[in-house]
């Protein structure tokens, strides 16, 4: 932590404590660190957290980790009550600060596509109930007349070819308070709110957005052009039928835009890939490239893929564009599925207060980032995919071995932390 994120504790200290000064038995930094360790160690419930935090060694390590000193740890019910009042916008600044630190130290070299930092955005559910929750809930009406009340988040993650999906920024998908709206909020609307926030935090960083076919629409392309960000978007006929048909007609006029290669694909082995492309497809004032890939495995099975992109497509970069376009599935496997199944995201975020729900969600993203970096680092004998086992080892270490006391920077041993590279 000190090596990669020396400013982490300063970022937590900058968050305003909403409690009365006379009631600050537990500093806010320690409360935030407690929640971070809860998710990092995959403590299964808040009741289990209370049991673990009764351990004297765990409390001492919490104090050393947070840089604060108390005799006990805050109980989970009080922790949630604190999060009901914490300013979410302030807590949301921690994620981009952590990514900035990694980018500055050049620790995310596997996350670049044609010189641009690869970011994938996708929606995920964090709460669902058949009972009314609040005015800002999304609603889904079923054929039997029942209604499901939901809270969803749009999550932007930096994708690395080595398998990491690190949270960059989060945007709630919610209806306006008061219940007055013509159409419900949706993922595309949330993306157009998220994009200016990313631009504001990273004004000079070149980004490429790896998008699902849901985002294949004119307003999204215009918003990306305004932000001066690149994109590679999965393209299906159902997204923009007229443009899809036009692309294939134009391919007939460019027979030289083709490339055939043999390569190794995970799960398929040796395959043949036949690429075709355009670099001048027009749609609502936006000029885009179009890439089509037909993949044939050794058994003769054929799979086709298509993407729209703001990059100028050439024979030299068409394979890289296709590789990046297929990389977006990592946000599902390495991101949301891991958080839902491994971290019980929906269980912890299932609380009556929406503000507390958002705070817990943001802290989970931070903890998940730390654990991915640890799993891929050379601090372990070899990179691991068994995050559950790693979390259990971390918890047992916190309960039985004391962390070192903070020491002056000059006395720290010189170390070098590297992260696993993608297999070529």
The CA angle 150-152-157, to the nearest 5 degrees, is 165
Mean pLDDT of 338-349: 59
Residue 50 has a CB neighbour count (10 Å cut-off) of 16
What pLDDT shows up at residue 388? 83
What's the half-sphere exposure (Cβ side, CA atoms, 13 Å) at 27?
17
What pLDDT shows up at residue 162? 84
Contact 286, 223 (CB under 8 A): no
Mean pLDDT of 214-236: 95
Phi, psi (rounded to 5 degrees) for 398 = -65, -25
What pLDDT shows up at residue 193? 96
Q: Over the chain, what is the mean pLDDT?
A: 89
* Strand stretches in 47-176, DSSP E: 112-113, 116-129, 138-141, 147-159, 165-173
Residue 401 pLDDT greater than 70, yes or no: yes
Residue 222 pLDDT greater than 90, yes or no: yes
Q: Does domain 108-334 have CATH number 1.10.630.10?
A: no
What pLDDT shows up at residue 129? 86
Helix (H) / strand (E) element for 399: namely helix 387-400
Q: Quick one: pLDDT band at residue 44, thresholds 50, 70, 90?
A: confident
Mean pLDDT of 144-169: 92
Q: pLDDT above 70 covers what percent of the chain?
A: 90
What pLDDT shows up at residue 417? 79
Taking the C-alpha atoms of residue 163 and residue 421, their distance in angstroms, rounded to an integer, is 9
Residue 76 pLDDT greater than 60, yes or no: yes
What pLDDT shows up at residue 156? 95
Domain boundaries, the chain: 8-91+354-411, 108-334
Contact 206, 224 (CB under 8 A): no
Taking the C-alpha atoms of residue 139 and residue 141, their distance in angstroms, rounded to an integer, is 7
Mean pLDDT of 401-412: 69
Nearest CA among 305, 336, 335 for reference residue 323? 305
Mean pLDDT of 119-147: 89
The DSSP-derived string for 226-261 is HHT-EEEEE--TTTSHHHHHHHHHHHTT-TT-EEEE
The helix/strand/coil state of 187 is helix
Q: Quick one: pLDDT band at residue 75, thresholds 50, 70, 90?
A: very high
67: left (phi over 0), alpha (psi -120 to 50) or beta: left
Q: Which two tokens stand for residue 423?
A: 């297999």
Q: Whole-model pTM?
A: 0.91
Q: Helix 56-66 to helix 387-400 angle, to the nearest 10 degrees?
A: 100
What pLDDT shows up at residue 379? 81
Mean pLDDT of 89-98: 97
Residue 383 pLDDT greater than 80, yes or no: no
Taking the C-alpha atoms of residue 353 and residue 83, their distance in angstroms, rounded to an integer, is 9
| Residue 106 Cα to chain centre, angstroms | 19
What pLDDT shows up at residue 347? 59
What pLDDT shows up at residue 179? 63
What's the half-sphere exposure (Cβ side, CA atoms, 13 Å) at 257?
22
Contact 371, 335 (CB under 8 A): no
Residue 419, C-beta contacts closer than 8 angstroms, at least 6 positions apart? 107, 110, 162, 164, 373, 376, 377, 378
């Amino acid at each position: 932590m000190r090596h990669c994120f020396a400013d982490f504790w300063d970022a937590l200290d900058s968050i305003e404590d909403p409690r009365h000064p006379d009631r600050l038995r537990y500093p806010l930094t320690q409360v935030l660190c407690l929640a971070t360790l809860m998710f990092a160690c995959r403590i299964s419930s808040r009741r289990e957290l209370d049991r673990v935090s009764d351990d004297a060694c765990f409390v001492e390590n919490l104090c050393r980790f947070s840089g604060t000193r108390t005799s006990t740890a805050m109980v989970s019910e009080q922790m949630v009550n604190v999060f009901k009042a914490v300013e979410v916008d302030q807590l949301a600044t921690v994620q981009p600060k952590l990514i900035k630190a990694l980018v500055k130290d050049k620790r995310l070299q596997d996350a670049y596509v044609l010189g641009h930092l690869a970011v994938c955005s996708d929606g995920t559910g964090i709460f669902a109930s058949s009972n009314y929750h609040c005015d800002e809930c999304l609603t889904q009406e079923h054929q039997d007349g029942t209604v499901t009340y939901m809270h969803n988040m749009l999550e932007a993650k930096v994708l690395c070819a080595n398998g990491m999906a690190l949270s960059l920024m989060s945007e709630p998908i919610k209806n306006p308070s008061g219940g007055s709206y013509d159409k419900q909020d949706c993922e595309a609307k949330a993306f157009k709110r998220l994009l200016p926030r990313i631009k504001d935090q990273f004004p000079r960083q070149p980004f490429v957005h790896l998008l699902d076919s849901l985002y294949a629409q004119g307003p999204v392309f215009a918003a990306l052009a305004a932000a001066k960000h690149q994109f590679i978007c999965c393209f299906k006929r159902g997204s923009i039928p007229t443009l899809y048909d036009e692309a294939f007609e134009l391919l007939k006029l460019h027979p030289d835009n083709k490339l055939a290669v043999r390569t190794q694909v995970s799960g398929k082995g040796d395959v043949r890939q036949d690429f075709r492309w355009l670099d001048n497809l027009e749609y609502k004032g936006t000029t885009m490239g179009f890439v089509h890939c037909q993949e044939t495995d050794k058994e003769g099975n054929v799979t086709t893929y298509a993407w729209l992109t703001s990059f100028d497509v050439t024979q030299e970069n068409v394979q890289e564009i296709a590789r990046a376009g297929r990389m977006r599935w990592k946000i599902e496997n390495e991101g949301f599925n891991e958080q839902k199944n491994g971290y019980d995201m929906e269980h912890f975020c299932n609380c009556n207060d929406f503000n507390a729900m958002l705070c817990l969600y943001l802290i989970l993203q931070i903890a998940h980032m730390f654990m991915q970096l640890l799993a891929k680092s050379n601090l372990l004998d070899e990179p691991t995919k068994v995050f559950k086992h790693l979390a259990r080892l971390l918890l047992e270490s916190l309960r039985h071995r004391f962390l070192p006391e903070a020491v002056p920077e000059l006395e720290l041993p010189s170390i070098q932390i590297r992260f696993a590279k993608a297999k070529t």
